[in-house]
Amino acid sequence: MSLETRVSPYDYSFDPDGPSTAARVARLVGRDRRVLEVGCGYGVISRQLTTAQGCAVTGIEYDAQSAEHAREWLEQLVIANLEHADWLECIAGRFDIILAADVIEHLRNPAAVLRQFGDLLGDEGELVISVPNVGHAGVIAELLCGHFDYKETGILDETHLRFYTWKSLEAQLNEAGFEVVHRETVNAPGSHEQFFGHWVKLPVAMREMLERHPLANVFQYVVKARRSLNPVRLSTGDDESLDAWFNRA
């Protein structure tokens, strides 16, 4: 899709076999699933799930204008605000997958919405979710330069109300009754174009130290979670890697 034909930064195409967040969440959804896509936007992921993966997709979107672009890929389109509890009344049945790609960081009370998701999942249902990592090296570079500048898209998207590290994300999912069973990371260096101007101002030794940090190059986390009455933390090896980094730093 060319820049000239895009109507929004949220209107894009992606390689389903590639490393992007959209490709990763689509693969985690799988085939022939009944899916509730929360924040379906322009239908970028809905189109892939419906046409290539045989899924039946219900979409929820707050922005009615954006949602019209998604309608043709959906069995049902619901225009609703997740912050208002009555959105649940518009959804019929239970789902194999609830997909919330880059959604909860836009909410005032994501914990309440996550608990509502649990009520809509079938017995073997799963939540697939992605969020940006505020601990990314580029954000750290901005902070060290005295900035925290919101942008049109990305980690510091101007519409983000919440910010997550891995531990804070997993803790919120656990508190909402979900146990993370799978994690992937979408990586980008601190020199990412959104942060390059501040990154190059850092002393070389500091950049090298951040580049060795085991989580600082994580741009986004992509996870799959299941409902659990007693969720346990996913074994990731992060603590051991961080200990090694601290000792070396």
pLDDT band at 206 (very low <50, low <70, confident <90, very high): very high
d(CA 81, CA 148): 28
pTM for the predicted model, two decimal places:
0.93
Counting residues of the chain whose pLDDT is more than 70, the rounded percentage is 95
pLDDT band at 178 (very low <50, low <70, confident <90, very high): very high
Stretch 103-132: mean pLDDT: 96
Q: Is 15 helix (H, G, I), strand (E, B) or coil?
A: coil
Stretch 101-129: mean pLDDT: 96
Stretch 217-246: mean pLDDT: 97
**Confidence (pLDDT) at 209:** 96
**Confidence (pLDDT) at 2:** 36
Of 59, 45, 56, the closest CA to residue 16 belongs to 45
**Confidence (pLDDT) at 58:** 97
- Please answer whether residues 228 and 118 qualify as being in contact, where contact means their C-beta atoms are separated by less than 8 angstroms: no
Length of the chain: 249
Bridging pattern class, strands 121-132 and 95-101: parallel
Is residue 8 over pLDDT 90?
Answer: no
pLDDT band at 230 (very low <50, low <70, confident <90, very high): very high
**Confidence (pLDDT) at 92:** 85
Stretch 172-176: mean pLDDT: 98
Is residue 1 over pLDDT 50?
Answer: no
Of 145, 176, 149, the closest CA to residue 160 belongs to 149
Q: What are phi and psi of 89, to 5 degrees?
A: -70, -15
**Confidence (pLDDT) at 10:** 61
Of 3, 88, 81, 75, the closest CA to residue 43 belongs to 75
d(CA 104, CA 46): 18
d(CA 137, CA 188): 9
Q: In angstroms, what CA-CA distances link 131 with 14, 55, 185?
A: 18, 23, 10
d(CA 237, CA 42): 37
Is residue 141 over pLDDT 90?
Answer: yes
**Confidence (pLDDT) at 108:** 95
